[in-house]
């Protein structure tokens, strides 16, 4: 099995992506999807919320 030489820059970038950027991306996508699901028309009516004037 041959040893692969990995540059320090590539190693740091890959580890930073796995440790920090990927979880932040997952959290951001989750929050955005929850926001749009919550604010779609008709969401409140299926939960029994009614707008009273």
Q: Which residues of the chain have pLDDT under 70?
A: 1-3, 43-53
Q: How many helices (H) and strands (E) does the chain have?
A: 3, 0
Cα separation, 42 vs 51, in Å, equals: 12
What is the per-residue pLDDT for 17?
Answer: 83
Q: Are 7 and 13 in contact (CB under 8 A)?
A: no
- Show Cβ contacts of residue 41 under 8 Å, excluding neighbours closer than 6 positions: none
pLDDT at 36: 92
Identify the pLDDT of residue 53: 46
Q: What is the pLDDT of residue 5?
A: 81
Q: For the chain, percent helix, then strand, then coil, each to nearest 5?
A: 65, 0, 35
């Amino acid at each position: 099995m041959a040893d692969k030489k990995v540059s320090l820059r590539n190693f740091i970038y890959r580890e930073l992506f796995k440790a920090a950027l990927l979880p932040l991306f997952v959290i951001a996508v989750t929050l955005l999807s929850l926001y749009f699901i919550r604010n779609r028309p008709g969401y409140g009516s299926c939960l029994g919320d009614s707008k009273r004037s």
